[in-house]
Structure 1
């Protein structure tokens, strides 16, 4: 079983948990009476079903988890053996080409291999223990989501949600949007079990493989490694490409092995982070002709490739999100709408995947020469026109923060407009402290005067699950949230922004402040109508008969027509 198979197995378990839950909601519907549904009786039946759901899942999936976990240790040891074997072949080829090995002897070498075994066993234990905790968490979360949906469905029905099916769909919307995202990282980001398992197992396998390579080097007295140059990967680690290090982590290297930095220092600074695409190869001073570190043009190209990859991953996540809603929603209208959106996101993801593939097939140096970096960071002076053409990030300056102006939609009071201006300035200040270019999201709860701040990366920030879901439950149809976020480029709203603004019905206002200080606001007015807005979106989608949606053109068309659905679009002068 490969790491891909394990991730897929966990995904199937998550889908089965959700499917079973939604089947129960569909199956246990009570008879309609004159005064409406007998929700008390319905809740009692659902709570009985929940208890059976909990017991069945614990028994059924407990066995599946045990079977999957047993494969993890085997997989990690196999990765180590692969590293051993492949490195030995490469070393023997180097000997054939003239390299003379100096086989080490002594107690220190024996101790190294003993310690290495201990470290590998610790890696196996750490990985399997983390997976077990995540497996327990996904079962607990599924039970918790089921229990909350049982009680929330009646609340939504009482607010006038319409049919039973619509009420249940609203009660389960957060779960269907995010999946069973039971794993929370240190930065607050939440992930599903399958996504976490994919990351954890790939990371463990990579480390085991590197350990296997290192062991083989140590046998021949080799400890110098060079970070491989490749056509793809993450700009975060690009500064290490082409550099030689003493491998004191995997190959028993010592400071005395040469005038080079230690690999442990680079790893501590972020090299070989989770899902890192970089690797090392053995460096033979007498044989190798190093190409040296990447040029500025090559770094810019890697940055561009990463942007495409992040956009592709975002599109895939959105496709998964709408796939769940299309598959598990009970209301037929909700199913159709979600299916249409899922198809659009799948098409977009496929096109981006092709762009990523094409970008990786081209030499970074050749592409970079034809697409020279256009951002000139010098005392805050930027080539804005070129930046706009390439959607390139713009570094935030104090001038940009001070430039943020007051924007007042029709139903905003002077105090509300002033509050938004203040928050936009705060948001840019926070974004400036986050790598000077990352996206940041402020979510303001108007009913309870609460605020949540979410940090994203250079290309996207996602609210994930509604952080005010519990407090907003009593105001299911009331729009009480304000989303404020920045765009590192000079662009107005994205297709994803519009999608979130429309689908998250509790959101009343959404704004974008660019890193240059421009402000754009979408605001739902009293005459806002979801169905009219959905009709506008559908008509715009149909205007692209070949399915090749131009994001900028799409946004432009929507902003021009959004007033027809009761949405005001306002911007700074």
Structure 2
């Protein structure tokens, strides 16, 4: 069966949920710490004296996250690799029923998991810095605002905390220069790593059985980076760039066929194929037998831009749910929940218009631990 990064998409949710729980716990810890005694004339002094307690609470969140995330990452990377291995064995078995599974690449799994643990672990220090910085900033804003006649202390604190809930823990930049918040960055990094694990397992199996060529599927709602590779034959590894190779027919002994290849799989991936959320897959190419894939019938009437609009609306739903969690009073919480319902309605309209499947799990905010 063909292999695609999205065959491990469901696994990334387990890791992303841990980071979402940590981010929500941070928002709630900071909000509750600041809301306590907010109307007291001694509030500023009490809050500054309590910063050590908040630091300890945030460090506890980080410690729990580090312990849980490392184990979860090793588990899901191993499962993604196994799925890629199974996909290759199914394909190879259709050609040569006697094909046996090559033992799982333990070293490859460990290497991919360790790299992901390191990448996501680098975000943990920013959780502490962000929490303490926001805490101090809210104290400063809430203390100075009434003196300037601008607003009440409660209103100033509420606005500052609402901004924090919207942003979450930010400041993460990927290789392309795009900025992410903590949860989105962890999910993106995990999805990318799991996709690599599945594809690598597939190609490891093909290499072990001497298969050198693969073919890219035709997927719906494709993005501009992937479109040039649709339906193209690629070398599993080796030289980049297009060319023609002469190989033996897959089923006819001593019969040679010429195959036009568009480049190598590593080259295509470097150019954007198999980016996060990519729906393309690769499968074994059997010279003289495999036919170019027929254009896949869209599962919906949607364009790539509309699928990205859905992702935007999902992020807004989660953001307003975080805003509700970071509200210092009931009226602000009510307004935030109203915005949640507004964006949920927009998702329903988009789904009805385009036929895109609604992914309710992407609209959920995991409960804080």
Q: What interval of TM-score do these two structures reach, taking the shorter chain for normalisation?
A: 0.7 to 0.9
Q: 1:83 aligned to 2:92?
A: no
| 3-state SS in 1 of match to 2:274 | coil
CA distance in 1: counterparts of 2:331 and 2:266, whole angstroms: 56
Looking at CA atoms only, which structure, 1 or 2, has the larger radius of gyration?
1
CA distance in 2: counterparts of 1:221 and 1:205, whole angstroms: 24
Are the aligned partners of 2:24 and 2:325 in contact in 1 as well (CA < 8 Å)?
Answer: no
Distance verdict in 2 for CA 1:184–1:153, change over 3 Å: farther
Which of 140, 145, 148 is the equivalent residue of 2:137?
Answer: 148
Query: 1:158 Cα deviation (Å)?
Result: 2.9
Distance verdict in 2 for CA 1:59–1:335, change over 3 Å: closer
Query: 1:225 Cα deviation (Å)?
Result: 0.6
Are the aligned partners of 1:141 and 1:182 in contact in 2 as well (CA < 8 Å)?
Answer: no
Query: 1:206 Cα deviation (Å)?
Result: 1.0
Are the aligned partners of 1:226 and 1:281 in contact in 2 as well (CA < 8 Å)?
Answer: yes
What is the match of residue 48 of structure 1? 49
Q: Deviations over 1:353-401 (max 9, x none)?
A: 4445x2579xxxxxxxxxxxxxxxxxxxxxxxxxxxxxxxxxxxxxxxx
Gaps of 5+ in 1: 32-37, 104-109, 362-573
TM-score, with structure 1 as normaliser? 0.52
Query: 1:331 Cα deviation (Å)?
Result: 3.9
What is the match of residue 252 of structure 2? none
CA distance in 1: counterparts of 2:109 and 2:285, whole angstroms: 24
What is the match of residue 267 of structure 1? 269
Q: 1:123 aligned to 2:112?
A: yes
| 3-state SS in 1 of match to 2:38 | coil
Are the aligned partners of 2:126 and 2:169 in contact in 1 as well (CA < 8 Å)?
Answer: no
Distance verdict in 2 for CA 1:43–1:77, change over 3 Å: same
Q: 1:23 aligned to 2:32?
A: yes
Are the aligned partners of 2:19 and 2:65 in contact in 1 as well (CA < 8 Å)?
Answer: no
The alignment's C-alpha RMSD in Å is 3.3
Are the aligned partners of 1:234 and 1:303 in contact in 2 as well (CA < 8 Å)?
Answer: no
Matches within 5 A, 1:339-358: 339-356=337-354, 358=355
CA distance in 2: counterparts of 1:158 and 1:123, whole angstroms: 54
What is the match of residue 209 of structure 1? 198
- Structure with larger RCO (C-alpha < 8 A, sep 6+): 2
CA distance in 1: counterparts of 2:334 and 2:340, whole angstroms: 10
CA distance in 2: counterparts of 1:57 and 1:13, whole angstroms: 9
CA distance in 2: counterparts of 1:187 and 1:243, whole angstroms: 25
Are the aligned partners of 1:223 and 1:246 in contact in 2 as well (CA < 8 Å)?
Answer: yes
TM-score, with structure 2 as normaliser? 0.79
CA distance in 2: counterparts of 1:139 and 1:27, whole angstroms: 20
What is the match of residue 69 of structure 2? 68
Are the aligned partners of 2:307 and 2:356 in contact in 1 as well (CA < 8 Å)?
Answer: no
| 3-state SS in 1 of match to 2:283 | strand
Query: 1:127 Cα deviation (Å)?
Result: 0.9
Query: 1:186 Cα deviation (Å)?
Result: 4.7
Which of 315, 318, 336 is the equivalent residue of 1:317?
Answer: 315
Q: 1:164 aligned to 2:180?
A: no
Are the aligned partners of 2:225 and 2:271 in contact in 1 as well (CA < 8 Å)?
Answer: no
Deviates more, 1:324-333 or 1:9-18: 324-333
What is the match of residue 218 of structure 2? 229
CA distance in 2: counterparts of 1:46 and 1:276, whole angstroms: 47
CA distance in 1: counterparts of 2:174 and 2:223, whole angstroms: 20
CA distance in 2: counterparts of 1:337 and 1:218, whole angstroms: 57
Which of 159, 166, 184 is the equivalent residue of 1:195?
Answer: 184
| 3-state SS in 2 of match to 1:157 | helix
Which of 329, 333, 336 is the equivalent residue of 2:334?
Answer: 336
CA distance in 1: counterparts of 2:176 and 2:154, whole angstroms: 36
Query: 1:61 Cα deviation (Å)?
Result: 3.1
Q: Deviations over 1:491-544 (max 9, x none)?
A: xxxxxxxxxxxxxxxxxxxxxxxxxxxxxxxxxxxxxxxxxxxxxxxxxxxxxx
Are the aligned partners of 1:156 and 1:170 in contact in 2 as well (CA < 8 Å)?
Answer: no
CA distance in 1: counterparts of 2:276 and 2:228, whole angstroms: 17
| 3-state SS in 1 of match to 2:225 | helix
What is the match of residue 181 of structure 1? 170
Distance verdict in 2 for CA 1:269–1:341, change over 3 Å: same
What is the match of residue 96 of structure 2? 95
| 3-state SS in 2 of match to 1:2 | helix
Q: Deviations over 1:132-186 (max 9, x none)?
A: 1112222221121112111122223334343332121122232122122242335
Distance verdict in 2 for CA 1:135–1:354, change over 3 Å: farther
Which of 10, 13, 17 is the equivalent residue of 1:8?
Answer: 17
Query: 1:210 Cα deviation (Å)?
Result: 0.7
CA distance in 1: counterparts of 2:61 and 2:314, whole angstroms: 29
Q: Deviations over 1:542-571 (max 9, x none)?
A: xxxxxxxxxxxxxxxxxxxxxxxxxxxxxx
CA distance in 2: counterparts of 1:193 and 1:212, whole angstroms: 28
